[in-house]
Amino acid sequence: MTERKSRRSSVLPVPEVTSGYDELNLGRLALMSGQKTVPSDLHRWQKQALTPDGRPVIITCTVPVDQVVPHGLDNDFMVGLINLCFEAGLPDTPFSVSAYALLKASGFSDSAQYYRALEESMIRLNKASYTVEEGWYAHGSQQWTTQSFAQVNYLAYVRSRSGVQGTSLVTVQLAPPNHGKSAGGVYQATGSGFLPLAQSATGPRPLPTTGRAAF
């Protein structure tokens, strides 16, 4: 994919918001391709997006040469992980779920096909590295923050010779931008919030978001 050469001015306008910490909604940034498949040599992309207040932000995704960028069902599995992370109380350490629970949280049926897809997706989400340049603004210090992260920054899972099964344990830790934990704390939904929250029987959880890019 051709990189964008245009860059924004070195002097950025101060966002017209009143308080707190201006958080990007990662769903709005569309970090994953919505296509079911992508070219086998698609190891990097870069694009420009706008924050709710109209500021340009540069997003870059890179993966190792033996992988392809996240796409397709990866978005559904990411939504499932975020929901389970909120249900676990936003732990600061890795948390574990069964592969079956992750399938259900992601909206998939209990089948060998989706267990294979789950394993492949977890690897892509762990291997893909994102950089969001100057995407977060702190009003007190009037400074912008650039963050680099993998959406799943720790991954361990158990599999048998036949692959991942329903009882297989999947242990992950999500990068702070995925669940709204950052330097200023946990941010709930506003027009410029990370992920809109809804109430469930087990506490707050993010509403599913389909932040998929058209590429």
Higher-confidence residue: 158 or 24? 158
Residues with Cβ within 8 Å of 44's Cβ and at least 6 positions away in sequence, in order, are 1, 60, 61, 62, 63, 69
Q: 189 with 179: CB under 8 angstroms?
A: no
CA distance 152 to 76: 14
At residue 25, the pLDDT reads 54
CA distance 205 to 148: 24
Q: What average pLDDT does the structure give for the chain?
A: 76
| Tens digit of each residue's pLDDT (9 = 90 or more) over 83-94 | 999 999 989 899
Higher-confidence residue: 76 or 215? 76
CA distance 188 to 126: 25
Instruction: Determine whether 186 is exposed, middle or buried from the number of CB atoms within 10 Å of its CB (0-12, 13-18, 19+).
Output: middle
Cα diameter, the chain: 56
At residue 31, the pLDDT reads 86
| Tens digit of each residue's pLDDT (9 = 90 or more) over 23-76 | 455 666 778 888 889 999 999 999 998 877 777 889 999 999 999 999 999 999
Please report, rounded to a whole number, the percentage of residues in the chain having pLDDT higher than 70: 69
pTM of the model: 0.72
